[in-house]
Structure 1
Amino acid sequence: MKPMSSRERFLTALKKQQPDRVPWFESYVHRGLADRIVGRKTDLPPGWRTPPDLYKILCLDTITYNFRPPFYAIMEKNGDVEQLKEGLLKTRDDLKALKEFLPDPENPDFYRGAEELLSFARQNGLAAIAGIRVGLSNTYNSMGYENFSYALYDDPGFIEESMELIGEWCIKVIERVNDLGFDAAYISEDIAFKWGPMFSPEHFRKYMLPHMKKVVDHIAIPRIYHTDGNPLPMLKDLVEELNICAIANLEHGAVDIFQVKEEWGDKLCLIGNMDLHYTLTMGTPEETVLEAKEKLEKVGKGGGYIISSSNGLTEYCKAENILALNGAILRYGVYFE
C-alpha cells in the first residue's frame, strides 16, 4: 500500500476503513511531558493542545485546537493545571452573568490561533481537529455537581435553560469552525464514570440529549464524541441522535474495547484505550509495547481503529513509555494487506 499522509491515514480510519497503519490521536499532550520527551522547554501557542516540537519525534497523526467555552466557576491552579473549586451558576439570576462571562464568538481574535494551527497542520500533513463542547459539561461544572444533581430532580428546566444559553454560544463558534478547514470535531462531553453513567439514561435522553443534538446538528465535519468512563448504556443514543462517526477514548478499565469492537466495529470508528492508570504512567516500556501490540493487532484488524490514551497524555506519563508506544505503533500498527 502506498504510504499515506497523517491526515489521509486518520480520515481513512475515521471512515471505518483500513489505512496504511493505525493512526495515533491524542487530544492533548501536557507540555511538561513534551519537555521531557524533547529534552528541552517546548513552546505551546495559546489554544494549541500539543506542543508543535513533539511532531519531530512522535508519529502523532493529529493536532487539536481548543474552542471549548470556559467554565463559569472559581478555578484553582495546581501547578499549571486548573481545577474547578466552585461553580458560580447557582440560580437563574446568574444566567445573565454567565452570558456576559463567555468570550465573544464574533471576535476574529478568538480564531487567530486556530488559523496558525491549521497552517502548521497542512505543512506537516496532519489532521486538524477542533476541540469543542455542546453545552452539557459546561452546565454541570458551572452549576457544581451537587447543585446540578438537585436541579435534575427539583428544577430540570434550569438545567435546560443553562444548556440552551451555552449551546447558542457553541453554535456560533461551530459555524465559524465549519468554514475554517478543520478535518473533524472532537466533542468533549463527559457523561460517565468508570462504573457507568453520571446520570440515568432516562434523564439524559429527556433533559440533555435534545439540547446537545440542537448544537451538534450544526457541525458540518465528521463528529468524534469523547467521554471518560463507561458510556455504553447511552452509546446507541450518541450514534443515532448525534450521528457520531467515532467514540473516544474508551477508558481502559471502564470499557472492554475488544467487546466494543465486536459489537460496534462495523458502525463506529473506535479511539483509545491505552491505560493511563497504570501502563503509561507507572508501567515499563515493555508493558507499554505489549498492551499496544495487542490493541493494534486485535482492535486494529480490518481498520476503523485509532490508537490513543484513555484521555490525553498527562504530565505524569513516563516519557520512556510514550517513546515505547511510538515505536510499537510504527512496528505493529502497519497494515501489510
Structure 2
Amino acid sequence: MTKVERVYRAINHQEADRVPKGEWRLDPVLVARILGKEGRGTWEDEVKVRELLGMDLVGLVPRGLRPDRSMPPHELDFSPFERWRGQTDFFIFAVVDGPFQGSAGRMDFMEFLLRLSSREDQVKELAREEARFGLETARRCVQAGAHGVIIADDIAYTRGTYVAPGLLRELFLPLWQWQVENLGTEGVPVFFHSDGNIASLVSDLVAAGFAGLHSLEPTAGMDIARIKQDFGARLCLMGNFDLSLLARAGEEELAAEVQRIMAAAAPGGGFIFSTSSGCLGGDLPAEKVMALYRAAGRYGTYS
C-alpha cells in the first residue's frame, strides 16, 4: 500500500495495513542530527528521515507568503509542491492560514480581539479578504500537487476560544464553510487545525464539512477518546501527542502514551498519528523523536 493510499483510507474511515503517521514540518537541524550530521539537513536528507521514521505525509506552504499579503497567490512559488509530488510518494498537505489567524497577523493581537468583539466592519471585511486569499492559495497548491488542505486557524488557547464561540460561529463559520465547499470542487479533503481547547466548536466544524481535525492538544483538555466517540464517524482525527512530553519523558513513558492514543483513536480507521504541534523543532533530541516514531510503528496496527 502506498503512503497516499494509506492516508486516504484513514480520511475515509477505513483501516489500512497500518495507521498512517507524520508531521507537517521537520526542522533542518533536527533532520541533520537524526542522520548523524552537523549543521542543517538538505531536502534529500529530509526525505531520508521521513522514510526512516515511517512517515506518510508532509505539510507544505508556498514560498513568498508575507503577513501583509502584498504578494498575490499567483505570484507565490509553488515549486516545493511540485518537487515533493514529482520526486516522492508522500501525501502532501497544503497548510494555509485561515481567516481568523490571517486577520490576527495583520495587527496587534489584542487590538484584533477588541475590534473583532466590537464587530467592526473593517475587521469583518479583512476576514473575508483573508478567506478569499486562503482559498485561492489553496487552489494553486492543489494544482501544484497537494493531495489535501489544512486550514490553520488558531482560534483558542488552553482554556477555550479567544472570543466567544457564538462570535466565531457568526463571523468565521460561514467563511470556513465557504472555503470547504469551494475546495470540494477540487476533489481534496480539507482539515481544520487549531491549538487549544476547541471542544465547543467541534460539532460546528463537522457541520461546515471539514474532513479532519488536527492538533487535539491534550494539555488543553482535548480528550481524543471522547472526540473519537462523538465525532469519529465524520472526522478524521490527527495529532494529540503532547510535544512537551516528547522533550521530558523517557522512552517507556513515550511508548505508553503512544499506545494509549492509538487504542483510543485508531480502531475503525479515521486517525493519523502526529504530535499536536505538527512541527518538530531543531531543539528536540533526535533519539526521542526516533523513539516516538518507533513506538508509533509498534502500536500503529489495527486489531
- TM-score over 0.5 (shorter chain): yes
Amino acid at match of 1:143: M
- What residue in structure 2 maps to residue 280 of structure 1? 246
Residues matched between the structures, number: 297
Residues 85-164 of structure 1 mapped to structure 2, 5 A cutoff: 98=68, 101-107=69-75, 110-121=77-88, 125-164=89-128
**Which of 53, 56, 66 in structure 2 is aligned with 1:58?**
53
Query: Is the alpha carbon distance of 1:265 and 1:213 closer, same or farther for their aligned partners in structure 2, counting shifts above 3 Å?
Result: closer
User: Which protein shows a greater Rg?
Assistant: 1
Secondary structure at the aligned position of 1:303 is classed as: coil
CA RMSD of aligned residues (A): 2.2
Query: Is the alpha carbon distance of 1:29 and 1:161 closer, same or farther for their aligned partners in structure 2, counting shifts above 3 Å?
Result: same
Amino acid at match of 1:58: L
Contact 1:270 1:305 in 2 (8 A): yes
Query: Is the alpha carbon distance of 1:222 and 1:69 closer, same or farther for their aligned partners in structure 2, counting shifts above 3 Å?
Result: farther
Amino acid at match of 2:128: E
TM-score (norm 2): 0.90
Contact 1:281 1:316 in 2 (8 A): no
- What residue in structure 2 maps to residue 9 of structure 1? 6
Query: Is the alpha carbon distance of 1:42 and 1:54 closer, same or farther for their aligned partners in structure 2, counting shifts above 3 Å?
Result: farther
Give the distance between the partners of 1:174 and 1:114, measured in 2 at CA: 12
Contact 1:282 1:318 in 2 (8 A): no
Give the distance between the partners of 1:68 and 1:193, measured in 2 at CA: 28
- What residue in structure 2 maps to residue 79 of structure 1? none
Contact 2:195 2:215 in 1 (8 A): yes
- What residue in structure 2 maps to residue 20 of structure 1? 17
Give the distance between the partners of 1:25 and 1:114, measured in 2 at CA: 17
- Answer yes or no: is 1:309 the counterpart of 2:279: no
Secondary structure at the aligned position of 1:131 is classed as: strand
User: For 1:214-273, what per-residue CA distance to the aligned partner results, in whole angstroms no more than 9, with x for missing partners?
Assistant: 3333213101111101111011111112x1111111012111111111111112111111
Give the distance between the partners of 1:263 and 1:157, measured in 2 at CA: 36
TM-score (norm 1): 0.82
User: For 1:22-67, what per-residue CA distance to the aligned partner results, in whole angstroms no more than 9, with x for missing partners?
Assistant: 111212122222222121144455xx9x932312421011012113
Amino acid at match of 1:9: R
**Which of 232, 238, 243 in structure 1 is aligned with 2:205?**
238
- What residue in structure 2 maps to residue 267 of structure 1? 234
- Answer yes or no: is 1:30 the counterpart of 2:49: no
Question: Deviation of residue 139 (structure 1)?
Answer: 0.5
Question: Deviation of residue 68 (structure 1)?
Answer: 8.4
Question: Deviation of residue 144 (structure 1)?
Answer: 1.6
Contact 1:118 1:128 in 2 (8 A): yes
Secondary structure at the aligned position of 1:271 is classed as: strand
- What residue in structure 1 maps to residue 171 of structure 2? 207
Question: Deviation of residue 71 (structure 1)?
Answer: 5.5
Secondary structure at the aligned position of 1:302 is classed as: coil
Contact 1:289 1:325 in 2 (8 A): yes
Secondary structure at the aligned position of 1:9 is classed as: helix
Give the distance between the partners of 1:330 and 1:287, measured in 2 at CA: 16
- Answer yes or no: is 1:326 the counterpart of 2:269: no
- What residue in structure 2 maps to residue 82 of structure 1? none
- What residue in structure 1 maps to residue 216 of structure 2? 250
Give the distance between the partners of 2:63 and 2:189, measured in 1 at CA: 17
User: For 1:183-232, what per-residue CA distance to the aligned partner results, in whole angstroms no more than 9, with x for missing partners?
Assistant: 11111111111111111111111122223333333213101111101111
**Which of 228, 243, 247 in structure 1 is aligned with 2:195?**
228
Runs of 4+ in 1 over 4 A off after TM superposition: 68-71
Amino acid at match of 1:224: F
Give the distance between the partners of 1:187 and 1:44, measured in 2 at CA: 27
Query: Is the alpha carbon distance of 1:134 and 1:68 closer, same or farther for their aligned partners in structure 2, counting shifts above 3 Å?
Result: farther
Question: Deviation of residue 164 (structure 1)?
Answer: 2.0
Contact 1:135 1:170 in 2 (8 A): yes
Q: Calculate percent identity across the aligned residue pairs.
A: 26
**Which of 135, 151, 166 in structure 2 is aligned with 1:171?**
135
Residues 183-198 of structure 1 mapped to structure 2, 5 A cutoff: 183-198=147-162
Contact 2:180 2:210 in 1 (8 A): no
